[in-house]
Amino acid sequence: MKKYLVIALASLSIISCNRQLTTALKSSDKDLILSTANQFYAQKKWSNAIALYDRLPNLVAGTDDAPEVVFKLAYANYYDKNYRLAGHQFRNFANTFPNDPRREEAAYTAAICYYQDAAEYNLDQTSTESAINMLQDFLNNYPNSDKERAEDANKKIDELTQRLETKYYEQ
C-alpha cells in the first residue's frame, strides 16, 4: 500500500511539473516564464530551466533581469554538461555586462567550460588549445583574482599543455 502511495505521488509530481513547463512555454508573460524557470533552476531540473531561460533574453533585454537570465542560462547549461554552449554563454555574459560584479566569475567559468570540453590527447586538440587560451586570457585579464582560482587556472594550463605535448610526441 505504501509503495503505491509513493508511486502515485511521484506520478502526480511529474504530471504537475510537465503541466507547469507547458504552461510557461506557451505563455508570453515574461514574469511567469522567469518565475517558472527560476523554480526549475532551484529544483536542479536543468533541461526545463534551459527551455524557459532560452525564451527570455529577448523579453528581458534592457531590463534589470537581463544579466540574471543570461547568467543562470549559462550555469544551467554548465550543470547540464553542455560545456561548449555554456562556455560561449559565460563569455558572452562577461562581454555584454562589463560592470556586473559576476564578470570575473563568468570569465573563469567560461575557461573551465572550455577545459571540460577539451578532448583526450589522442583526439583533435582544437578544443584543448582553446581551453589553454581561455585560461591564459583569464589570468591576464584578472591578475588580482583570488589565489585559489589563479592556482587552479595555472594547474589546468599545465595539464592541458602536457596533453598537447603527449599528442605531439606520439605522432
Regions of the chain with pLDDT less than 50: 4-17
Exposure string of 50-61, with b = 16+ CB inside 10 Å and e = fewer, is: bbbbbbbeebbe
Residue ranges per structural domain of the chain: 1-65, 81-171
The predicted structure's pLDDT at residue 13: 46
Give pLDDT tens digits for 45-92: 999 999 999 999 889 998 999 999 999 999 999 999 999 999 999 999
The predicted structure's pLDDT at residue 121: 67
The predicted structure's pLDDT at residue 20: 84
Nearest CA to 87 out of 76, 98, 78, 96 is that of 78
Model pTM score: 0.84
The predicted structure's pLDDT at residue 11: 38
DSSP state of 12: H
